[in-house]
Structure 1
Amino acid sequence: MPATTQDGDHAVENKPAPNTNGTMKAVRFHGKEDLRFEDIPEPKCGKGQIKVQPAWCGICGSDLHEYIGGPSICPTSPHPITGEQVPLTFGHEFSGVIEELGEGVAEKWKVGDRVCVQPIIYDGDCGACQDGLINCCYKNGFVGLSGWGGGLSEHLVVPEYAVYKLPDNVGLDVAALVEPLAVGWHAVNASPFKPSDSVLILGGGPIGLSVIQALRARGCRQIIVSEVSQMRKEFAKEFGAHHVLDPTKDDIVARCRELADGQGVNVSCDAAGVQAGLDQAIMALRARGTHVNIAIWEKRCNFFPNDLVFREKRYLGVATYVKGDFEEVIKAISDGRLDMCQKMITKRIGLDEVVEEGFKALIKDKDNQVKILVRGSGQV
């Protein structure tokens, strides 16, 4: 049987894809508040690569932060792996259909396969990658933020290692949610959570709701959510939170102690990245509890180590997901453990509507939106 690049000949798979003679439409990030729907060259497969036609793509909070105040994540000098810099095609939460296979890809893949894409770009050679921590690669990046195109386009080419086949009972629209769901899934996996624990979640946005679903799928005894938005509070309750608190009205620390044996929660998960929330979450932990930071902070926060030291509490940072998380999430959607995820989709728009009906809608109507999906082919 011929050798394939399936197991990670990253030097080959990570080479830039060549272009066809044709063009395609894509949403490109040029700088702060500068997104353009424009024609760019259409790529074709190189060795070890797969060409995908995006079906649906979610707009992520990271995309929104870049649009409002970036570039910060997007490289402004050549990325060490992709070699690309702004302007870049957006979109890293997406699903699609395989339309071309490069030389050397595994025989299991077929044109027409329904897939989702795990967007982490990693070199496979550094110490973190060798330890299996692809999310911590010292050169890492993201498809849709660091180069290699993105889900907000008509076509893109990615390495074989990034592609995951979908079961027949997982729709392509729901498959665009695998990426944000994997963030919550990984946060719970990385934490010391046990089903008998009480957990506090800060924020009822897409990632907070993903954490709720991951905890619910694992049989968490008590899920407590702190959220201000009325719609997101309702979503949190519907998605499985046992108690939903409003930090503008409730004493979060006192209520967590009251609800959790008079001691406080075992685990707190920060999906908001707000100073007041951090302060409350640390104090709401019981002795030897763990605070899990998922949020990407826009600015530095104040932190007093003694708040951890005297009760031997722990602070854990988690980043995206690792190998295995996408497979676990896809399986959990397929077998019904993540049965609420489709309700995260609150709006669907066209590729040519991304700026007005997508990004600007999320800025103006954030409290009433969870996940806006952008239609590529629109196949389900």
Structure 2
Amino acid sequence: MKAARYYGNKDLRVEDIAEPRVEPGKVKIRVEWCGICGTDLHEYDDGPIFCPTAAHPHPITGESVPVTLGHEFAGVIAELGEGVTGLEVGDKVAVEPYITCGECVYCVSGRYNLCVKGGFIGLSGEGGGYSEFVVVPPERVFPLGELSTEIGALVEPIAVGYHAVKRSGIQAGQTAVVFGAGPIGLVTTACLRAIGVEQVVVVELSSIRKAKAPDAGATLVLDPSETDVPAKVRELTDGLGAHVAFECVGASPALQGALDATRNGGTVVNVSIWGHKAEIDMFGLVMRELNLIGTSAYCGDHAEVIELLRAGKIPAEQFITGRIAVDDILDAGFRELIENKEENVKILVHP
């Protein structure tokens, strides 16, 4: 079968590899669409980061590069291994691409996104969505019902935003500020609106990305180069500030802006993955009793995201900005997103 394989820094190859066989207790999926994630781009440009190397093979899979990339994928069940129930061949499904040990204190307590040995299908081994077939455990498989597999490929990135929203504790009727209108900022905005948050302010510098924010649900878009964002947010909230702010940029000015735009006792959720140390005003965080929390991917969120999509509460189609074949993944996918990231949200790959 055809697959896009990661060998190392700036080394991605489309190759023919053996088709995986279904095993007892596993599900074989014919992949129809897989989204290109920013993590994949970082892996290509700066890695290996998450992908295991020969010196440090993954502790669960035992694999090292080359690995098949792609973790935002959906498809159709092609075959069920012996003993699998509750799923049918032909079902359209999305996949929660975790690889977990099932034994550590976090897995046992249900917080498997914090597994001490954990990894991801499409980064840590066990195949990936940039291939024709993937074999996965049934607990990672979520039926889509009438949703298309194109929308199914968006479930994983939307779940990142949804998990961040749930972690924040925000309630309908409160005010949120989202710093950054890249893919994760946009899906976080959409998730906030989906749960009934009426006022969502998006902060973004790029004119192209600013234009995308209202369609995702932003009620106001602010450019920090033109507007004193914390002052404007306080003006909108009786002088208090937002209940919750979400940092989706990975830059110190954005994180500090999120802290400054949040009311005393409020919460700032750091959603972005940082490649460097942050610099913020710790004195203000302490004296204003702000809650600064992290959020890691998702955990038990896929089914709820699918229900929101089925109910039409998340306008997901707008996030798809390109559809390509796996043969074109390097030029029309990775390089397109790296060189024209502001113009794109999500490019889907068809294996």
TM-score range, shorter-chain basis? over 0.9
Find out whether 1:180 has 2:131 as its counterpart: no
The alpha-carbon deviation at position 111 of structure 1 amounts to 1.6
Report the 3-state secondary structure (helix = DSSP H, G, I; strand = E; otherwise coil) of the residue aligned with 1:29: strand
Find out whether 1:333 has 2:309 as its counterpart: yes
Aligned to 1:350: 325
Report the 3-state secondary structure (helix = DSSP H, G, I; strand = E; otherwise coil) of the residue aligned with 1:110: coil
Aligned mates of 2:217, 2:281 — CA distance in 1: 32
Find out whether 1:242 has 2:219 as its counterpart: yes
Aligned mates of 1:200, 1:58 — CA distance in 2: 26
Report the 3-state secondary structure (helix = DSSP H, G, I; strand = E; otherwise coil) of the residue aligned with 2:19: strand
Given that residues 187 and 216 in structure 2 are in contact (C-alpha distance below 8 angstroms), is that contact kept between their aligned partners in structure 1? no
Superposition pairs for residues 247-258 of structure 1, below 5 Å? Answer: 247-258=224-235
Find out whether 1:273 has 2:250 as its counterpart: yes
How big is each residue's C-alpha offset from its partner over 1:161-209, in whole Å with a ceiling of 9 and x where there is no partner? 11111112x1111110000111111111111201121111011111111
Count of aligned residue pairs for this structure pair? 349
Aligned mates of 2:337, 2:120 — CA distance in 1: 22
Find out whether 1:131 has 2:131 as its counterpart: no
Report the 3-state secondary structure (helix = DSSP H, G, I; strand = E; otherwise coil) of the residue aligned with 1:112: coil
2:302 partner letter: F
Aligned to 2:174: 197
Aligned to 2:39: 62
Write out the 4+ residue segments of structure 1 that deviate beyond 4 Å after TM superposition. none
Unaligned segments of structure 2, at least 5 residues: none
State TM-score, norm by structure 1.
0.90
Correspondence for 2:338 among 347, 350, 363 = 363
- TM-align CA RMSD: 1.0
Aligned mates of 2:186, 2:89 — CA distance in 1: 34
2:344 partner letter: Q
Tell me which moved more, 61-70 or 250-259.
250-259
Correspondence for 2:143 among 165, 172, 185 = 165
Report the 3-state secondary structure (helix = DSSP H, G, I; strand = E; otherwise coil) of the residue aligned with 1:43: coil
2:72 partner letter: E
Aligned mates of 2:265, 2:134 — CA distance in 1: 46
How big is each residue's C-alpha offset from its partner over 1:260-280, in whole Å with a ceiling of 9 and x where there is no partner? 221111101011111110111
Correspondence for 1:99 among 71, 78, 96 = 78
State TM-score, norm by structure 2.
0.97
Report the 3-state secondary structure (helix = DSSP H, G, I; strand = E; otherwise coil) of the residue aligned with 1:41: coil
Aligned mates of 2:326, 2:90 — CA distance in 1: 22
Tell me which moved more, 314-323 or 230-239.
230-239
2:138 partner letter: E
Correspondence for 1:46 among 7, 23, 31 = 23
Correspondence for 1:287 among 260, 264, 271 = 264
Given that residues 256 and 281 in structure 2 are in contact (C-alpha distance below 8 angstroms), is that contact kept between their aligned partners in structure 1? no
Aligned mates of 1:367, 1:207 — CA distance in 2: 13
Find out whether 1:122 has 2:100 as its counterpart: yes
Report the 3-state secondary structure (helix = DSSP H, G, I; strand = E; otherwise coil) of the residue aligned with 1:244: strand
1:274 partner letter: A
1:84 partner letter: E
Aligned to 2:350: 375
The alpha-carbon deviation at position 285 of structure 1 amounts to 1.1
How big is each residue's C-alpha offset from its partner over 1:338-363, in whole Å with a ceiling of 9 and x where there is no partner? 1x111100111111000000000001
2:304 partner letter: E
Aligned to 2:285: 308
Correspondence for 2:295 among 318, 324, 330 = 318
Aligned mates of 1:178, 1:348 — CA distance in 2: 16
Correspondence for 2:57 among 65, 69, 78 = 78
How big is each residue's C-alpha offset from its partner over 1:97-116, in whole Å with a ceiling of 9 and x where there is no partner? 1111111111x222211111
